[in-house]
Chains A and B, each alone.
Chain A
Amino acid sequence: MSILSIENIYKNYGSVKALKGVSFNVPKGSVFGILGPNGSGKTTMLGIIMDILKPTSGTYKLLNEVPSEKHRRQIGTFLETPNFYHYLSAERNLHISAAIKGRGVEDIPRVLEMVNLTQRKKSRFSTFSLGMKQRLAIASCLLGNPSVLILDEPTNGLDPVGIAEIRALIKKLQLEGTTIIMASHLLDEVEKVCTHVAILKKGELVATGGVNEILVNEDIVEIGAANLSALQLSVEQFSGYTSKKVEDNLIQLFYPIGTINLEGINRHFFNEGIVLNHLQLKRKSLESKFMELTN
């Protein structure tokens, strides 16, 4: 079953086209990352799903139904910034969230504890640091143990410990069966926690699917020799790699992950009468894959 299905969503701000016909499905129980550079339309899309923004055209369904406030009450959502009443304490702010969600207040101590804010529950929201505000927003999402979470840049403003805690929390919630939809521009974050991903670029969907299919890493071997043209001729006779590229007097050979045999490569060229003066294994970074997809 799809938790969320989006069909051909367009959103225009005047002449600016923020979303251009985006469609994808979020499977139940997944941690679904929406990845894209700043301004690619991630928040706009989540805003549309949650009725904060109106789409120019297109349809979407939450939990297989046309979305309404009833569905939003079952979803914990944190969008863009922590939005709370500055003059109220953390606890009182959560009272308001709980009342709107139709949940009891008895869950408040549990969620405050989960984000380490119990000590500061009586402090006004305006006295909080950015990281604390962020954690309070996540606590609010967790009220009533929703089966779906929508988190937009959840680790923004958190220190490394905070980031690791949120990551651990997301993994734990997924094991408990929670579906998590997470927008991020942090590849590392997506790679570490997501099972599925959709990549947006300037409002267009570039790719969607399992993280391993989309963000698959390739291995690269970089080779060089004094006689580059002889080396190039010899590379033509060689097999096992998927593609090649010449860069800065070096030849890059691309291999499926984990299939490289450096010793075999070295021996092959030596037997061909070419002595390599450069032989280096490089892992293709997620970052370069992302750049490739979004540039």
Chain B
Amino acid sequence: MITLLKVEWLKIKNYTAFIILSSFFAVGVVTVNYIILTVNKNIISQSQAVVLTGKFSPFQFDKTWQTTSYASGWLLLLPALMIIILITNEFTFRTHRQNILDGWSRQQFIHVKIMMALLIAFLSAILVFFTALAFGFSSGTSFSTHGISHVGFFFLKALSYNMIALLIGVLIRRTGFAIGVFFIYMGVENFISQLLDVLSVRLRSRNNLDLGSMGDYLPMNSADGMLTFPENPLKAMTKGVMPTDYPWLVLSLCIAYMLFFYWLTVNRMVKTDL
């Protein structure tokens, strides 16, 4: 696999779009967290709202892991776009054929791409880890690993987005079209998810039936659902009406969806004409 990854590295190391998107993502992760820090410090803490929410510092240890993971999660579209571009480039340049002609098996071709999705998710999580660490230390609180599992949830979310991107890339094959479908899918899923969430609240209040936040049971939203903003006084106030969260169910669904997408992606590459 290392040999295969070296070939992938040869493909991307001089690719401008890859360099730009990675840089945007890296800068974005730091920036978005910095914005939250500044907004919290200069606006929320200074405003009347503080009376309502109480004193809340999102980057103190142990909250920093969750805050950074949650906030950086919004930027995971960038690595997903990168994955779409990397796979659809192969179809556009017809290099997917040439790689096979030159001596890769179809399995090797698709598995190295899956490995790239995994690696990009892993490196994103590493970046989030160090960002959380830096913001945590800058808060002046003492180091704690409590809540570090959120970096793991971030990794799963990144991988989940990347796997959806890879599947769409393999199915659609054309870059622009695939990116369009990715965004449309995201919009449609979020819309359905919102409806399901409303339904969940109603079921709980009217029928006394608590099925959890059903919006989180969809593929992208199950990945999103594990990452939430840290508990704070404002959030605590809404607890009474919200359905119970079942993190184990959402986590299991997220992993199950990923395995299903993995199977679809490999199957598509191995069985069809290229």
- B10 near A: Cβ within 8 Å? yes
Interface mask (A190-213 → B, CB under 8 Å = 1, otherwise 0): 000000000000000000000000
Q: How far is the CA of A88 from the CA of B106 in the complex (A)?
A: 23
> Which of chain A's residues have a CB closer than 8 A to the CB of B207?
none
- B241 near A: Cβ within 8 Å? no
- A128 near B: Cβ within 8 Å? no
Q: Is the Cβ of B6 less than 8 Å from the Cβ of A99?
A: yes
Q: Is the Cβ of A87 less than 8 Å from the Cβ of B98?
A: no
**Candidates A47, A69, A83, A84; contact of B103 at CB < 8 Å:** A69
Stretch at the interface among A32-40, A72-80, A277-285: A72-80
> Which of chain A's residues have a CB closer than 8 A to the CB of B104?
69, 100
Q: Is the Cβ of B98 less than 8 Å from the Cβ of A51?
A: no
Q: Is the Cβ of A52 less than 8 Å from the Cβ of B103?
A: no
> Which of chain A's residues have a CB closer than 8 A to the CB of B271?
54
Q: How far is the CA of A51 from the CA of B103 in the complex (A)?
A: 10
Interface residues on A, range: 20 to 34
Closest to B10 in A: A96
Chain B binding site: helix, strand, loop or mixed by DSSP?
helix
Q: Of residues 92 to 110 in A, which have CB atoms within 8 Å of B's CB atoms? A: 92, 95-97, 99-102
> Which of chain B's residues have a CB closer than 8 A to the CB of A54?
271-273
Q: How far is the CA of A163 from the CA of B37 in the complex (A)?
A: 67
> Which of chain B's residues have a CB closer than 8 A to the CB of A85?
11, 15, 89, 93, 95
**Candidates A53, A68, A96, A140; contact of B273 at CB < 8 Å:** A53
Closest chain A CB from B154 CB (angstroms):
31
> Which of chain A's residues have a CB closer than 8 A to the CB of B94?
81, 83
Closest to B271 in A: A54
Closest chain A CB from B244 CB (angstroms):
49
Do A95 and B10 contact each other (CB < 8 Å), given the known contacts A52-B273, A53-B273?
yes
- A50 near B: Cβ within 8 Å? yes
Q: Of residues 100 to 118 in B, which have CB atoms within 8 Å of A's CB atoms? A: 100-106, 108
- A86 near B: Cβ within 8 Å? yes
Count B-side interface residues using an 8 Å CB cutoff. 27
Q: Of residues 1 to 24 in B, which have CB atoms within 8 Å of A's CB atoms? A: 3, 6-7, 10-11, 14-16
> Which of chain B's residues have a CB closer than 8 A to the CB of A101?
102-103
Q: How far is the CA of A88 from the CA of B6 in the complex (A)?
A: 16
Q: Is the Cβ of A86 less than 8 Å from the Cβ of B93?
A: yes
- B204 near A: Cβ within 8 Å? no
Closest to B105 in A: A69
Q: How far is the CA of A216 from the CA of B13 in the complex (A)?
A: 54
Closest chain B CB from A286 CB (angstroms):
30
- B99 near A: Cβ within 8 Å? yes
**Candidates A47, A50, A51, A87; contact of B14 at CB < 8 Å:** A87
> Which of chain A's residues have a CB closer than 8 A to the CB of B103?
69-70, 72-73, 100-102
> Which of chain A's residues have a CB closer than 8 A to the CB of B98?
83-84, 97
Q: Is the Cβ of A52 less than 8 Å from the Cβ of B15?
A: no
Q: Of residues 196 to 215 in B, which have CB atoms within 8 Å of A's CB atoms? A: none
Instruction: Give 17 pairs: A residue, B residue, CB < 8 Å, sorted on A.
Output: A50-B100, A51-B100, A51-B105, A72-B101, A72-B103, A79-B97, A79-B101, A83-B93, A83-B98, A84-B98, A87-B14, A87-B16, A92-B10, A96-B11, A99-B3, A99-B7, A100-B7
Residues of chain B touching chain A, judged by Cβ–Cβ distance below 8 Å, are 3, 6-7, 10-11, 14-16, 89, 93-95, 97-106, 108, 271-274
